[in-house]
């Protein structure tokens, strides 16, 4: 486990530079989750470290494979200086612990909800899990382990989350794109919906 996390951290540092802050959160019955903060000009990125220590498993499976299964870490990018987004550390750790706590498999196109604003005054309590491979490349591990995927998180307003449940992730992303939505704006309003 420690060896995997060391490789994951090295991949994050290679892709994002040196973190300027880190925090650790431990939930009862789970492994420790760290959240690293990287500042890149006017963008601040938060990346989890610890979610990939164990493979995600189907909660309905009779036996859980301790080696095989999808592995991931979460990455959230927002514009710096507009609001206190550093309060996202705990909600982000909650999302990263959800595979261990709730038995969910976090995958592109899925939604995650913390049930409260991601940071004080945020119009978002949920995120859309986007496709990996853009900002941080997948980390290949020795067979038979699956690679670690670095999944971008896109904050959704309540209306967007409800619309996504009905219309799907692809249509929501197309709506954001066609409206030129700045998904890094921590104070943005909802995209116009039908």
- Is it the case that residue 101 has pLDDT exceeding 90? no
What tokens appear for 31 in the block?
Answer: 């492994």
Q: Are strands 124-129 and 111-113 parallel, antiparallel or unpaired?
A: antiparallel
- Peptide bond preceding 121: is omega within 30 degrees of 0, i.e. cis? no
The answer to whether residue 60 scores a pLDDT higher than 80 is no
Whether pLDDT at 48 is above 90 = yes
3-state secondary structure of 87: helix
User: Do the Cβ atoms of 111 and 87 come closer than 8 Å?
Assistant: no
Q: How confident is the model at residue 1 (pLDDT cuts 50, 70, 90)?
A: low
Nearest to 89 by CA among 130, 52, 48, 125: 48
pLDDT reading at 88 higher than 80 = yes
């Amino acid at each position: 486990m420690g060896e995997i996390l060391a490789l994951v951290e090295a991949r994050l540092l290679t892709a994002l530079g040196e973190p300027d802050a880190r925090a650790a959160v431990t939930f009862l019955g789970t492994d420790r989750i760290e959240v690293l903060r990287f500042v890149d000009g006017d963008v601040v990125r938060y990346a989890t470290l610890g979610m990939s220590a164990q493979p995600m498993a189907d909660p309905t499976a009779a036996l859980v494979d301790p080696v095989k299964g999808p592995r991931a870490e979460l990455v959230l990018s927002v514009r710096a200086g507009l609001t206190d987004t550093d309060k996202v550390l705990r909600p982000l750790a909650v999302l990263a612990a959800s595979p261990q706590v709730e038995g969910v498999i976090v995958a592109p196109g899925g939604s995650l909800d913390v049930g409260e604003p991601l940071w004080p005054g945020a119009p978002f309590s949920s995120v859309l899990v986007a496709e990996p491979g853009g900002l941080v490349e997948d980390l290949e591990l020795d067979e038979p382990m699956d690679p670690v995927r670095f999944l971008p998180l896109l904050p959704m307003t309540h209306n967007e989350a409800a619309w996504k449940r009905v219309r799907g992730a692809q249509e929501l992303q197309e709506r954001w794109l066609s409206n030129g939505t700045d998904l890094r704006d921590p104070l943005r309003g909802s995209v116009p919906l039908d």
